[in-house]
């Protein structure tokens, strides 16, 4: 199938690699040298401009936010063909994606929101989980394509629900990570050995992805790799908090989590790794890990 892939970032690059092995792939990236490197490594064609992506049977976007997706839609819209499927793998905003879906629908193009989870290792391995919002037909078409990089592909309801569940899931991670960091900081200040603390927590009721996988490597081993930008997690939490607010719900923990990650973003910069937020959590008490 003729597929256009837009956004060869930390996630997009390895995802596109899987697609190139199965489809007639055309790639475009804002920084052209990245697309050229990709084209040097994989069987694909290089789009000279976004316009050259418009005649594909399916267009995949994975860029930072829904704003960039909309800018791309604006640019390509006049040349889109009826029947095209637009798969937006960005972790976007459900309200915007519904508006974009309506706009594309008027051109005969179906948009499904299809954010992914599993991080860069999942993208490399082709084992991502893909949560797809859209019609039953759109889901079926997208599922076949997303199989190239996804292991678990779930239809989560109408368009927008993919982005909504992705934001909610990352917000749960963010809140949990912050709570774990605060508890660990208190134990550390008391003088407890944190290796022992992790051993107990991970055998008991406080166990989580943060305590089992994310924090020990950073806090115990002192390794802080950049895998997912803090600016992007801040964006996800902001989406979840603003979606709740727009529904006139009183969800204070969501608001607080959003405030904390926005503060961490400002303090550490958006390019820092998301888990470095726990450094900021410690600095709020004048401490370091």
Size of interface with ligand NDP, in residues (CB under 6 A): 25
Scanning 9-17, 175-183, 237-245, 256-264 for contacts with ligand NDP by CB under 6 A, the matching segment is 9-17
CB of 288 to ligand NDP, least distance (A): 25
Q: Does 226 bind ligand NDP (CB under 6 A)?
A: no
CA dihedral 143, 149, 154, 156 (to 10 degrees): -90
Scanning 57-65, 79-87, 105-113, 139-147 for contacts with ligand NDP by CB under 6 A, the matching segment is 57-65
Scanning 30-38, 105-113, 198-206, 259-267 for contacts with ligand NDP by CB under 6 A, the matching segment is 30-38
Q: Does 55 bind ligand NDP (CB under 6 A)?
A: no
Site for ligand NDP in 86-115 (CB under 6 A): 90-91
Q: In DSSP terms, which residues pair with 157 in a beta bridge? A: 133
Please select the residue that binds ligand NDP; options are 84, 97, 120, 171, rule is CB under 6 A.
Answer: 120
Q: Does 11 bind ligand NDP (CB under 6 A)?
A: yes
Q: Does 119 bind ligand NDP (CB under 6 A)?
A: yes
Please select the residue that binds ligand NDP; options are 3, 4, 8, 184, rule is CB under 6 A.
Answer: 8
The size of the chain, in residues, is: 289
Scanning 3-11, 133-141, 202-210, 280-288 for contacts with ligand NDP by CB under 6 A, the matching segment is 3-11
CB of 123 to ligand NDP, least distance (A): 8
Pick between residue 36 and residue 199 the one whose CB is nearest to ligand NDP: 36
Q: In DSSP terms, which residues pair with 2 in a beta bridge? A: 24
Q: Does 31 bind ligand NDP (CB under 6 A)?
A: yes
Pick between residue 170 and residue 184 the one whose CB is nearest to ligand NDP: 170
Sign of the Cα pseudo-torsion (95, 270, 278, 255, in order):
negative
**Count of CB atoms situated within 10 Å of the CB of 194:** 17
CB of 233 to ligand NDP, least distance (A): 8
Pick between residue 65 and residue 84 the one whose CB is nearest to ligand NDP: 65
- Is residue 75 packed enough to be buried (19+ CB in 10 Å), middle (13-18) or exposed (0-12)? middle
Binding site for ligand NDP (CB under 6 A): 7-12, 29-31, 34, 62-64, 68, 71, 90-91, 116-117, 119-120, 227-229, 232
């Amino acid at each position: 199938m003729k597929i256009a892939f837009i956004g060869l970032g930390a996630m997009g690059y390895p995802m596109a690699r899987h697609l190139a092995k199965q489809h007639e792939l055309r790639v475009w990236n804002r920084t052209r040298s990245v697309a050229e490197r990709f084209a040097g490594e994989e069987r694909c064609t290089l789009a000279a401009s976004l316009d050259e992506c418009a005649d594909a049977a399916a267009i995949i976007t994975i860029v930072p936010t829904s704003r960039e997706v909309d800018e791309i839609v604006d640019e390509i819209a006049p040349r889109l063909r009826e029947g095209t499927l637009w798969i937006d793998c960005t972790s976007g905003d459900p309200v915007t994606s519904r508006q974009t879906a309506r706009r594309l629908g008027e051109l005969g193009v179906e948009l499904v929101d299809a954010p992914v989870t599993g991080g860069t290792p999942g993208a490399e391995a082709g084992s991502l989980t893909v949560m797809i919002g859209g019609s039953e037909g759109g889901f079926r078409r997208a599922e076949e394509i997303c199989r190239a990089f996804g292991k678990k592909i779930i239809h989560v309801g109408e368009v927008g629900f993919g982005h909504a569940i992705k934001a909610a899931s990352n917000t749960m991670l963010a809140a949990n990570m912050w709570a774990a960091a605060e508890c660990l900081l208190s134990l550390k200040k008391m003088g407890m050995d944190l290796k022992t603390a992790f051993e107990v927590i991970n055998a008991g009721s406080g166990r989580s992805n943060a305590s089992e996988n994310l924090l020990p490597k950073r806090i115990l081993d002192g390794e802080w790799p950049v895998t997912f930008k803090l600016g992007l997690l801040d964006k996800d939490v902001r989406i979840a908090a603003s979606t709740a607010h727009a529904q006139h719900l009183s969800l204070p923990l969501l608001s607080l989590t959003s405030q904390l990650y926005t503060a961490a973003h400002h303090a550490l910069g958006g390019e820092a790794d998301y888990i470095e937020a726990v450094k900021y959590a410690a600095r709020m008490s004048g401490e370091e890990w």
